[in-house]
Chain A
Amino acid sequence: MTPAATTFHPPREPRRQLNTEPVWVRRLLISLALSFLAFFLFLPLAFVFTQAFAKGIGFYFKSLTDPLTWSAIKLTLLATGIAVPLNCVFGVAAAWAIAKFDFRGKNLLLTLIDLPFSISPVIAGLIYVLVFGAQGWLGLYVNAEHPWFPWLAHWLDEQNFKVIFAVPGIVLATIFVTVPFVARELIPLMQAQGRNEEEAARVLGASGWQTFFRVTLPNIKWALIYGVILCNARAMGEFGAVSVVSGKIRGQTNTIPLHIEALYDDYNFTGAFAVASLLAFLALITLGLKTWVEYQNARQDETEISS
Protein backbone atom coordinates (compact mmCIF):
# COMPACT_ATOMS: atom_id res chain seq x y z
CA MET A 1 0.00 0.00 0.00
CA THR A 2 1.34 3.42 -0.87
CA PRO A 3 1.44 6.03 1.87
CA ALA A 4 -1.12 8.11 -0.03
CA ALA A 5 -3.63 5.29 0.14
CA THR A 6 -3.54 5.01 3.90
CA THR A 7 -6.07 7.20 5.60
CA PHE A 8 -4.62 6.91 9.08
CA HIS A 9 -1.02 7.28 10.21
CA PRO A 10 -0.36 5.98 13.69
CA PRO A 11 1.57 8.58 15.64
CA ARG A 12 5.28 7.87 15.41
CA GLU A 13 6.19 9.44 18.72
CA PRO A 14 5.37 6.62 21.23
CA ARG A 15 7.32 4.06 19.21
CA ARG A 16 10.45 6.15 19.27
CA GLN A 17 10.12 6.68 22.99
CA LEU A 18 10.39 2.96 23.61
CA ASN A 19 13.89 2.98 22.14
CA THR A 20 15.27 6.08 23.79
CA GLU A 21 17.95 4.25 25.77
CA PRO A 22 21.34 5.60 24.73
CA VAL A 23 23.51 3.38 22.56
CA TRP A 24 25.99 2.72 25.37
CA VAL A 25 23.21 1.33 27.62
CA ARG A 26 22.06 -1.05 24.93
CA ARG A 27 25.62 -2.19 24.18
CA LEU A 28 26.32 -2.66 27.87
CA LEU A 29 23.25 -4.83 28.39
CA ILE A 30 23.94 -6.95 25.33
CA SER A 31 27.58 -7.48 26.22
CA LEU A 32 26.62 -8.34 29.80
CA ALA A 33 24.25 -11.03 28.60
CA LEU A 34 26.75 -12.37 26.08
CA SER A 35 29.67 -12.48 28.50
CA PHE A 36 27.48 -14.23 31.07
CA LEU A 37 26.60 -16.90 28.49
CA ALA A 38 30.22 -17.21 27.41
CA PHE A 39 31.53 -17.50 30.93
CA PHE A 40 28.98 -19.94 32.33
CA LEU A 41 28.01 -22.00 29.29
CA PHE A 42 30.48 -21.82 26.46
CA LEU A 43 33.72 -21.74 28.47
CA PRO A 44 33.02 -24.89 30.49
CA LEU A 45 31.98 -26.73 27.34
CA ALA A 46 35.17 -25.69 25.57
CA PHE A 47 37.14 -26.65 28.67
CA VAL A 48 35.66 -30.16 28.65
CA PHE A 49 36.90 -30.75 25.13
CA THR A 50 40.36 -29.18 25.60
CA GLN A 51 40.92 -31.23 28.76
CA ALA A 52 39.67 -34.38 27.06
CA PHE A 53 42.29 -34.02 24.35
CA ALA A 54 45.01 -32.69 26.71
CA LYS A 55 47.08 -35.88 26.45
CA GLY A 56 46.51 -36.37 22.75
CA ILE A 57 44.00 -38.17 20.65
CA GLY A 58 45.55 -41.57 21.39
CA PHE A 59 44.94 -41.23 25.11
CA TYR A 60 41.42 -39.97 24.40
CA PHE A 61 40.47 -43.13 22.51
CA LYS A 62 42.27 -45.31 25.04
CA SER A 63 40.12 -43.79 27.78
CA LEU A 64 36.98 -44.45 25.80
CA THR A 65 37.83 -48.06 24.95
CA ASP A 66 38.81 -48.93 28.50
CA PRO A 67 36.71 -51.97 29.61
CA LEU A 68 35.34 -50.09 32.64
CA THR A 69 34.25 -47.16 30.47
CA TRP A 70 32.76 -49.55 27.96
CA SER A 71 30.76 -51.29 30.67
CA ALA A 72 29.49 -47.88 31.91
CA ILE A 73 28.40 -46.97 28.37
CA LYS A 74 26.60 -50.31 27.97
CA LEU A 75 24.80 -49.92 31.30
CA THR A 76 23.69 -46.37 30.45
CA LEU A 77 22.40 -47.54 27.08
CA LEU A 78 20.53 -50.40 28.75
CA ALA A 79 18.90 -48.19 31.39
CA THR A 80 17.98 -45.57 28.79
CA GLY A 81 16.78 -48.26 26.38
CA ILE A 82 14.31 -49.50 28.97
CA ALA A 83 13.32 -46.18 30.58
CA VAL A 84 12.65 -44.14 27.44
CA PRO A 85 10.24 -46.58 25.67
CA LEU A 86 8.40 -47.25 28.95
CA ASN A 87 8.00 -43.54 29.67
CA CYS A 88 7.00 -42.96 26.08
CA VAL A 89 4.11 -45.43 26.40
CA PHE A 90 3.18 -44.19 29.86
CA GLY A 91 3.42 -40.52 28.82
CA VAL A 92 1.16 -40.97 25.80
CA ALA A 93 -1.35 -43.02 27.81
CA ALA A 94 -1.43 -40.49 30.66
CA ALA A 95 -1.67 -37.49 28.34
CA TRP A 96 -4.45 -39.18 26.35
CA ALA A 97 -6.41 -39.96 29.48
CA ILE A 98 -5.96 -36.46 30.90
CA ALA A 99 -6.63 -34.49 27.73
CA LYS A 100 -9.45 -36.51 26.19
CA PHE A 101 -11.45 -37.88 29.12
CA ASP A 102 -13.01 -36.63 32.33
CA PHE A 103 -12.57 -38.84 35.37
CA ARG A 104 -12.19 -38.65 39.11
CA GLY A 105 -8.65 -38.07 40.34
CA LYS A 106 -7.53 -36.35 37.15
CA ASN A 107 -5.83 -33.57 39.10
CA LEU A 108 -4.17 -36.11 41.37
CA LEU A 109 -2.72 -37.86 38.34
CA LEU A 110 -1.45 -34.52 37.00
CA THR A 111 0.24 -33.79 40.32
CA LEU A 112 1.77 -37.25 40.50
CA ILE A 113 3.26 -36.86 37.04
CA ASP A 114 5.00 -33.71 38.25
CA LEU A 115 6.32 -35.36 41.41
CA PRO A 116 9.72 -36.39 39.94
CA PHE A 117 10.30 -32.74 38.94
CA SER A 118 9.59 -31.41 42.40
CA ILE A 119 11.38 -34.07 44.44
CA SER A 120 15.17 -34.19 44.83
CA PRO A 121 16.64 -37.12 42.85
CA VAL A 122 18.60 -38.20 45.93
CA ILE A 123 15.35 -38.68 47.82
CA ALA A 124 13.93 -40.62 44.89
CA GLY A 125 16.94 -42.94 45.11
CA LEU A 126 16.56 -43.29 48.87
CA ILE A 127 12.89 -44.31 48.46
CA TYR A 128 13.98 -47.21 46.28
CA VAL A 129 16.66 -48.21 48.81
CA LEU A 130 14.00 -48.22 51.56
CA VAL A 131 11.58 -50.30 49.51
CA PHE A 132 13.90 -52.72 47.75
CA GLY A 133 17.07 -52.72 49.89
CA ALA A 134 18.28 -55.54 52.13
CA GLN A 135 16.56 -53.84 55.09
CA GLY A 136 13.57 -52.82 52.97
CA TRP A 137 10.38 -54.69 52.08
CA LEU A 138 12.00 -56.89 49.49
CA GLY A 139 14.81 -57.93 51.86
CA LEU A 140 12.33 -58.62 54.66
CA TYR A 141 10.20 -60.71 52.32
CA VAL A 142 13.03 -62.85 51.00
CA ASN A 143 14.45 -63.42 54.47
CA ALA A 144 11.11 -63.94 56.23
CA GLU A 145 10.58 -67.29 57.99
CA HIS A 146 7.10 -67.84 56.59
CA PRO A 147 6.69 -65.69 53.47
CA TRP A 148 3.31 -65.55 51.62
CA PHE A 149 4.46 -67.30 48.50
CA PRO A 150 7.35 -69.49 49.68
CA TRP A 151 8.24 -70.60 46.15
CA LEU A 152 8.63 -66.97 45.05
CA ALA A 153 10.81 -66.05 48.04
CA HIS A 154 12.84 -69.20 47.49
CA TRP A 155 13.26 -68.49 43.81
CA LEU A 156 14.27 -64.87 44.44
CA ASP A 157 16.77 -66.05 47.01
CA GLU A 158 18.15 -68.70 44.71
CA GLN A 159 18.57 -66.24 41.85
CA ASN A 160 20.23 -63.87 44.31
CA PHE A 161 17.79 -61.28 42.95
CA LYS A 162 18.76 -57.78 43.94
CA VAL A 163 17.33 -54.40 43.04
CA ILE A 164 19.56 -52.09 45.03
CA PHE A 165 23.25 -51.98 44.09
CA ALA A 166 22.25 -53.78 40.89
CA VAL A 167 20.98 -53.05 37.39
CA PRO A 168 17.20 -53.19 38.20
CA GLY A 169 17.60 -50.37 40.74
CA ILE A 170 19.40 -48.19 38.21
CA VAL A 171 16.67 -48.80 35.64
CA LEU A 172 13.95 -48.03 38.20
CA ALA A 173 15.64 -44.80 39.32
CA THR A 174 16.10 -43.70 35.72
CA ILE A 175 12.44 -44.37 34.95
CA PHE A 176 11.37 -42.41 38.01
CA VAL A 177 13.28 -39.22 37.23
CA THR A 178 12.22 -39.20 33.56
CA VAL A 179 8.48 -39.85 34.01
CA PRO A 180 7.26 -36.25 33.40
CA PHE A 181 9.10 -35.45 30.16
CA VAL A 182 6.84 -37.07 27.55
CA ALA A 183 3.54 -36.57 29.40
CA ARG A 184 4.27 -32.89 30.19
CA GLU A 185 5.09 -32.23 26.56
CA LEU A 186 1.89 -33.84 25.26
CA ILE A 187 -0.79 -32.74 27.74
CA PRO A 188 -1.03 -29.04 26.74
CA LEU A 189 -0.96 -29.89 23.03
CA MET A 190 -3.61 -32.57 23.29
CA GLN A 191 -5.78 -30.33 25.44
CA ALA A 192 -5.48 -27.57 22.85
CA GLN A 193 -6.40 -29.94 20.01
CA GLY A 194 -9.56 -31.02 21.82
CA ARG A 195 -11.66 -34.13 21.28
CA ASN A 196 -13.42 -33.18 18.08
CA GLU A 197 -11.27 -35.14 15.66
CA GLU A 198 -11.47 -38.24 17.82
CA GLU A 199 -15.23 -37.88 18.08
CA ALA A 200 -15.45 -37.47 14.32
CA ALA A 201 -13.42 -40.66 13.86
CA ARG A 202 -15.66 -42.54 16.28
CA VAL A 203 -18.85 -41.47 14.53
CA LEU A 204 -17.32 -42.57 11.22
CA GLY A 205 -17.01 -46.05 12.69
CA ALA A 206 -13.35 -46.18 13.78
CA SER A 207 -12.49 -48.38 16.78
CA GLY A 208 -10.55 -47.00 19.74
CA TRP A 209 -7.19 -48.23 18.42
CA GLN A 210 -7.91 -47.04 14.89
CA THR A 211 -8.79 -43.61 16.29
CA PHE A 212 -5.53 -43.54 18.24
CA PHE A 213 -3.20 -44.70 15.48
CA ARG A 214 -4.86 -42.88 12.58
CA VAL A 215 -5.96 -39.62 14.20
CA THR A 216 -4.40 -38.95 17.61
CA LEU A 217 -0.84 -40.17 17.05
CA PRO A 218 -0.19 -38.29 13.77
CA ASN A 219 -1.41 -35.09 15.43
CA ILE A 220 1.04 -35.34 18.34
CA LYS A 221 3.99 -36.77 16.39
CA TRP A 222 6.39 -33.82 16.72
CA ALA A 223 5.62 -33.11 20.36
CA LEU A 224 6.15 -36.79 21.12
CA ILE A 225 9.54 -36.86 19.39
CA TYR A 226 10.50 -33.70 21.26
CA GLY A 227 9.50 -35.25 24.59
CA VAL A 228 11.44 -38.43 23.80
CA ILE A 229 14.59 -36.42 22.98
CA LEU A 230 14.43 -34.57 26.30
CA CYS A 231 13.61 -37.77 28.17
CA ASN A 232 16.56 -39.52 26.54
CA ALA A 233 19.00 -36.73 27.42
CA ARG A 234 17.91 -36.77 31.04
CA ALA A 235 17.98 -40.58 31.26
CA MET A 236 21.60 -40.70 30.02
CA GLY A 237 22.80 -37.84 32.20
CA GLU A 238 20.97 -38.74 35.44
CA PHE A 239 23.34 -38.72 38.40
CA GLY A 240 21.62 -38.17 41.78
CA ALA A 241 19.01 -40.91 42.02
CA VAL A 242 21.18 -43.44 40.20
CA SER A 243 24.19 -42.74 42.43
CA VAL A 244 22.14 -43.63 45.54
CA VAL A 245 20.90 -46.99 44.26
CA SER A 246 23.92 -48.08 42.22
CA GLY A 247 26.53 -48.80 44.88
CA LYS A 248 29.09 -47.70 42.26
CA ILE A 249 30.62 -51.10 41.64
CA ARG A 250 33.07 -50.45 38.82
CA GLY A 251 32.46 -52.47 35.72
CA GLN A 252 29.08 -53.56 37.06
CA THR A 253 26.81 -50.76 38.32
CA ASN A 254 28.52 -47.59 37.13
CA THR A 255 26.71 -45.52 34.51
CA ILE A 256 28.55 -42.90 32.44
CA PRO A 257 28.03 -40.01 34.90
CA LEU A 258 29.05 -42.23 37.85
CA HIS A 259 32.08 -43.48 35.95
CA ILE A 260 33.16 -39.89 35.25
CA GLU A 261 33.00 -39.13 38.96
CA ALA A 262 35.03 -42.27 39.76
CA LEU A 263 37.74 -41.33 37.24
CA TYR A 264 37.85 -37.81 38.60
CA ASP A 265 38.19 -39.11 42.16
CA ASP A 266 41.17 -41.17 40.95
CA TYR A 267 42.87 -37.95 39.74
CA ASN A 268 42.52 -39.25 36.18
CA PHE A 269 41.29 -35.84 34.98
CA THR A 270 41.97 -36.38 31.31
CA GLY A 271 40.17 -39.72 31.36
CA ALA A 272 37.23 -38.15 33.22
CA PHE A 273 36.98 -35.34 30.68
CA ALA A 274 37.32 -37.77 27.78
CA VAL A 275 34.26 -39.70 28.99
CA ALA A 276 32.53 -36.40 29.89
CA SER A 277 33.00 -35.28 26.29
CA LEU A 278 30.72 -38.18 25.32
CA LEU A 279 27.91 -36.70 27.39
CA ALA A 280 28.73 -33.24 26.04
CA PHE A 281 28.44 -34.61 22.51
CA LEU A 282 25.11 -36.10 23.45
CA ALA A 283 23.99 -32.70 24.73
CA LEU A 284 25.01 -31.05 21.45
CA ILE A 285 23.20 -33.71 19.42
CA THR A 286 20.13 -33.27 21.62
CA LEU A 287 20.19 -29.51 21.05
CA GLY A 288 20.54 -30.03 17.31
CA LEU A 289 17.66 -32.52 17.19
CA LYS A 290 15.55 -30.27 19.40
CA THR A 291 16.05 -27.32 17.07
CA TRP A 292 15.23 -29.46 14.05
CA VAL A 293 12.03 -30.78 15.62
CA GLU A 294 10.98 -27.29 16.66
CA TYR A 295 11.58 -26.15 13.10
CA GLN A 296 9.48 -29.01 11.70
CA ASN A 297 6.75 -28.28 14.20
CA ALA A 298 6.71 -24.58 13.35
CA ARG A 299 6.56 -25.44 9.65
CA GLN A 300 3.56 -27.67 10.27
CA ASP A 301 1.83 -24.92 12.25
CA GLU A 302 2.56 -22.47 9.49
CA THR A 303 0.84 -24.58 6.84
CA GLU A 304 -2.10 -24.86 9.19
CA ILE A 305 -2.37 -21.10 9.64
CA SER A 306 -1.69 -20.01 6.05
CA SER A 307 -5.10 -20.76 4.62
Chain B
Amino acid sequence: MDPIRQNLPVLLDGLRLTIQYSVVAIILMVVIGLVAALMRLSKVALLRWIATAYVEIFRSTPLLVQLFFIVLGLPAILPVNRWFGQLTYPILAAAFTLSLNEGAYVTEIVRAGILGVDRGQKEAAQSIAMNGFQTMRYIVLPQAFKRMIPPLVNQAAQTIKDTSLLAPVGIVELVYKGQIVIAQTFASFAIWGLIAALYFILIFSLSKFSSYLERRLQVDKR
Protein backbone atom coordinates (compact mmCIF):
# COMPACT_ATOMS: atom_id res chain seq x y z
CA MET B 1 0.00 0.00 0.00
CA ASP B 2 2.84 2.41 0.83
CA PRO B 3 4.23 3.03 -2.68
CA ILE B 4 0.74 3.89 -3.88
CA ARG B 5 -0.04 6.29 -1.06
CA GLN B 6 3.32 7.99 -1.32
CA ASN B 7 3.22 8.41 -5.08
CA LEU B 8 -0.44 9.07 -5.64
CA PRO B 9 0.02 12.87 -5.94
CA VAL B 10 2.66 12.37 -8.65
CA LEU B 11 0.39 9.99 -10.57
CA LEU B 12 -2.62 12.27 -10.20
CA ASP B 13 -0.51 15.06 -11.68
CA GLY B 14 0.21 12.72 -14.60
CA LEU B 15 -3.52 11.99 -14.87
CA ARG B 16 -4.19 15.73 -15.05
CA LEU B 17 -1.82 16.01 -18.01
CA THR B 18 -3.39 12.95 -19.67
CA ILE B 19 -6.81 14.58 -19.34
CA GLN B 20 -5.46 17.83 -20.80
CA TYR B 21 -3.98 16.08 -23.85
CA SER B 22 -7.18 14.05 -24.25
CA VAL B 23 -9.46 17.10 -24.17
CA VAL B 24 -7.33 18.97 -26.70
CA ALA B 25 -7.05 15.95 -29.00
CA ILE B 26 -10.78 15.12 -28.81
CA ILE B 27 -11.80 18.69 -29.66
CA LEU B 28 -9.27 18.92 -32.50
CA MET B 29 -10.10 15.48 -33.90
CA VAL B 30 -13.77 16.41 -34.21
CA VAL B 31 -12.94 19.70 -35.96
CA ILE B 32 -10.42 18.03 -38.27
CA GLY B 33 -12.78 15.10 -38.93
CA LEU B 34 -15.67 17.40 -39.79
CA VAL B 35 -13.59 19.48 -42.21
CA ALA B 36 -12.01 16.42 -43.84
CA ALA B 37 -15.39 14.66 -44.16
CA LEU B 38 -16.89 17.69 -45.90
CA MET B 39 -13.83 17.76 -48.16
CA ARG B 40 -14.29 14.06 -48.97
CA LEU B 41 -17.88 14.77 -49.99
CA SER B 42 -16.99 17.92 -51.92
CA LYS B 43 -17.65 18.41 -55.62
CA VAL B 44 -14.08 19.68 -56.01
CA ALA B 45 -11.85 16.75 -56.96
CA LEU B 46 -8.69 18.29 -55.46
CA LEU B 47 -10.32 18.64 -52.01
CA ARG B 48 -11.58 15.04 -52.19
CA TRP B 49 -8.13 13.86 -53.16
CA ILE B 50 -6.36 15.71 -50.32
CA ALA B 51 -8.82 14.44 -47.71
CA THR B 52 -8.63 10.86 -48.97
CA ALA B 53 -4.83 10.94 -48.98
CA TYR B 54 -4.86 12.29 -45.42
CA VAL B 55 -7.18 9.57 -44.14
CA GLU B 56 -5.30 6.77 -45.88
CA ILE B 57 -1.85 7.91 -44.71
CA PHE B 58 -2.83 8.31 -41.07
CA ARG B 59 -4.91 5.13 -40.96
CA SER B 60 -2.27 2.99 -42.58
CA THR B 61 0.70 3.84 -40.37
CA PRO B 62 1.08 3.20 -36.61
CA LEU B 63 0.43 6.17 -34.32
CA LEU B 64 3.68 5.47 -32.49
CA VAL B 65 5.65 5.75 -35.73
CA GLN B 66 3.81 8.95 -36.64
CA LEU B 67 4.71 10.40 -33.23
CA PHE B 68 8.39 9.46 -33.53
CA PHE B 69 8.50 10.80 -37.08
CA ILE B 70 6.96 14.20 -36.32
CA VAL B 71 8.10 14.81 -32.73
CA LEU B 72 11.65 13.46 -33.05
CA GLY B 73 12.24 13.06 -36.81
CA LEU B 74 11.15 16.44 -38.09
CA PRO B 75 13.57 18.48 -35.90
CA ALA B 76 16.43 16.61 -37.62
CA ILE B 77 15.70 18.36 -40.93
CA LEU B 78 13.81 21.52 -39.93
CA PRO B 79 14.65 24.11 -37.26
CA VAL B 80 11.24 23.58 -35.66
CA ASN B 81 12.68 23.73 -32.18
CA ARG B 82 13.91 27.24 -32.92
CA TRP B 83 10.52 28.24 -34.38
CA PHE B 84 8.37 26.92 -31.58
CA GLY B 85 10.84 26.59 -28.69
CA GLN B 86 12.86 23.63 -27.49
CA LEU B 87 10.29 22.68 -24.87
CA THR B 88 7.12 23.71 -26.66
CA TYR B 89 7.70 21.98 -30.00
CA PRO B 90 7.47 18.36 -28.76
CA ILE B 91 4.28 19.11 -26.81
CA LEU B 92 2.61 20.92 -29.72
CA ALA B 93 3.77 18.36 -32.26
CA ALA B 94 2.65 15.41 -30.14
CA ALA B 95 -0.80 16.86 -29.45
CA PHE B 96 -1.24 17.78 -33.10
CA THR B 97 -0.07 14.40 -34.41
CA LEU B 98 -2.42 12.58 -32.05
CA SER B 99 -5.31 14.82 -33.17
CA LEU B 100 -4.53 14.23 -36.85
CA ASN B 101 -4.37 10.48 -36.31
CA GLU B 102 -7.70 10.30 -34.47
CA GLY B 103 -9.18 12.83 -36.89
CA ALA B 104 -8.66 10.36 -39.75
CA TYR B 105 -11.02 7.91 -38.04
CA VAL B 106 -13.47 10.71 -37.16
CA THR B 107 -13.52 11.69 -40.85
CA GLU B 108 -14.96 8.30 -41.70
CA ILE B 109 -17.45 8.46 -38.81
CA VAL B 110 -18.70 11.88 -39.93
CA ARG B 111 -18.78 10.88 -43.59
CA ALA B 112 -20.82 7.75 -42.83
CA GLY B 113 -23.13 9.84 -40.63
CA ILE B 114 -23.76 12.38 -43.39
CA LEU B 115 -24.30 9.68 -46.03
CA GLY B 116 -26.69 7.89 -43.68
CA VAL B 117 -29.15 10.78 -43.76
CA ASP B 118 -32.02 10.03 -46.15
CA ARG B 119 -31.60 11.68 -49.57
CA GLY B 120 -35.18 12.95 -49.36
CA GLN B 121 -34.17 15.23 -46.47
CA LYS B 122 -31.62 16.96 -48.68
CA GLU B 123 -34.05 17.23 -51.58
CA ALA B 124 -36.73 18.72 -49.34
CA ALA B 125 -34.20 21.30 -48.11
CA GLN B 126 -33.28 22.15 -51.70
CA SER B 127 -36.96 22.43 -52.63
CA ILE B 128 -37.42 25.20 -50.04
CA ALA B 129 -34.50 27.01 -51.69
CA MET B 130 -31.78 26.19 -49.15
CA ASN B 131 -28.26 26.39 -50.56
CA GLY B 132 -25.63 23.73 -49.94
CA PHE B 133 -24.35 25.29 -46.72
CA GLN B 134 -27.82 25.81 -45.24
CA THR B 135 -28.83 22.25 -46.16
CA MET B 136 -25.73 20.87 -44.40
CA ARG B 137 -25.94 23.17 -41.39
CA TYR B 138 -29.67 23.06 -40.60
CA ILE B 139 -30.87 19.74 -42.02
CA VAL B 140 -28.18 17.13 -42.68
CA LEU B 141 -25.59 17.66 -39.92
CA PRO B 142 -28.07 17.85 -36.99
CA GLN B 143 -29.53 14.50 -38.07
CA ALA B 144 -26.14 12.99 -38.84
CA PHE B 145 -24.72 14.13 -35.48
CA LYS B 146 -27.19 12.11 -33.43
CA ARG B 147 -26.15 8.94 -35.23
CA MET B 148 -22.50 9.83 -34.85
CA ILE B 149 -22.53 10.04 -31.04
CA PRO B 150 -21.92 6.33 -30.25
CA PRO B 151 -18.98 5.89 -32.68
CA LEU B 152 -17.56 9.29 -31.65
CA VAL B 153 -17.60 8.31 -27.97
CA ASN B 154 -15.86 5.10 -28.93
CA GLN B 155 -13.21 7.12 -30.74
CA ALA B 156 -12.85 9.48 -27.77
CA ALA B 157 -12.17 6.47 -25.50
CA GLN B 158 -9.57 5.30 -28.00
CA THR B 159 -8.00 8.76 -28.00
CA ILE B 160 -7.67 8.81 -24.22
CA LYS B 161 -5.90 5.45 -24.31
CA ASP B 162 -3.72 6.58 -27.21
CA THR B 163 -2.34 9.49 -25.16
CA SER B 164 -0.29 6.80 -23.38
CA LEU B 165 1.79 6.60 -26.58
CA LEU B 166 3.02 10.14 -25.92
CA ALA B 167 5.28 8.78 -23.14
CA PRO B 168 7.74 7.02 -25.50
CA VAL B 169 8.41 10.30 -27.34
CA GLY B 170 9.18 12.06 -24.08
CA ILE B 171 5.90 13.78 -23.29
CA VAL B 172 5.06 13.86 -19.59
CA GLU B 173 1.69 12.30 -18.79
CA LEU B 174 0.32 9.45 -16.68
CA VAL B 175 2.44 6.60 -18.12
CA TYR B 176 5.59 8.74 -18.14
CA LYS B 177 5.10 9.66 -14.47
CA GLY B 178 4.34 6.03 -13.69
CA GLN B 179 7.62 4.88 -15.21
CA ILE B 180 9.52 7.42 -13.10
CA VAL B 181 7.76 6.25 -9.95
CA ILE B 182 8.49 2.59 -10.77
CA ALA B 183 12.15 3.38 -11.43
CA GLN B 184 12.35 4.83 -7.92
CA THR B 185 10.18 2.33 -6.01
CA PHE B 186 10.39 -0.90 -8.08
CA ALA B 187 6.68 -1.37 -7.25
CA SER B 188 5.75 -2.19 -10.83
CA PHE B 189 2.76 -4.41 -10.02
CA ALA B 190 1.04 -1.86 -7.77
CA ILE B 191 1.82 1.19 -9.89
CA TRP B 192 0.84 -0.32 -13.27
CA GLY B 193 -2.34 -1.61 -11.62
CA LEU B 194 -3.09 1.83 -10.28
CA ILE B 195 -2.42 3.45 -13.67
CA ALA B 196 -4.80 0.99 -15.35
CA ALA B 197 -7.44 1.77 -12.72
CA LEU B 198 -7.09 5.51 -13.33
CA TYR B 199 -7.58 5.06 -17.09
CA PHE B 200 -10.55 2.83 -16.39
CA ILE B 201 -12.25 5.40 -14.14
CA LEU B 202 -11.68 8.12 -16.74
CA ILE B 203 -13.07 6.18 -19.69
CA PHE B 204 -15.89 4.55 -17.74
CA SER B 205 -17.13 8.01 -16.69
CA LEU B 206 -16.99 9.08 -20.33
CA SER B 207 -19.13 6.16 -21.47
CA LYS B 208 -21.64 6.84 -18.67
CA PHE B 209 -21.80 10.47 -19.78
CA SER B 210 -22.41 9.42 -23.36
CA SER B 211 -25.32 7.12 -22.44
CA TYR B 212 -26.82 10.10 -20.67
CA LEU B 213 -26.26 12.26 -23.74
CA GLU B 214 -27.86 9.66 -26.02
CA ARG B 215 -30.90 9.44 -23.78
CA ARG B 216 -31.20 13.22 -23.73
CA LEU B 217 -31.11 13.40 -27.53
CA GLN B 218 -33.31 10.30 -27.95
CA VAL B 219 -31.14 8.99 -30.73
CA ASP B 220 -33.50 6.23 -31.83
CA LYS B 221 -36.67 8.20 -31.68
CA ARG B 222 -35.93 11.18 -33.86
Q: Do A and B bind each other?
A: no
Interface residues of A (CB under 8 A from B): none
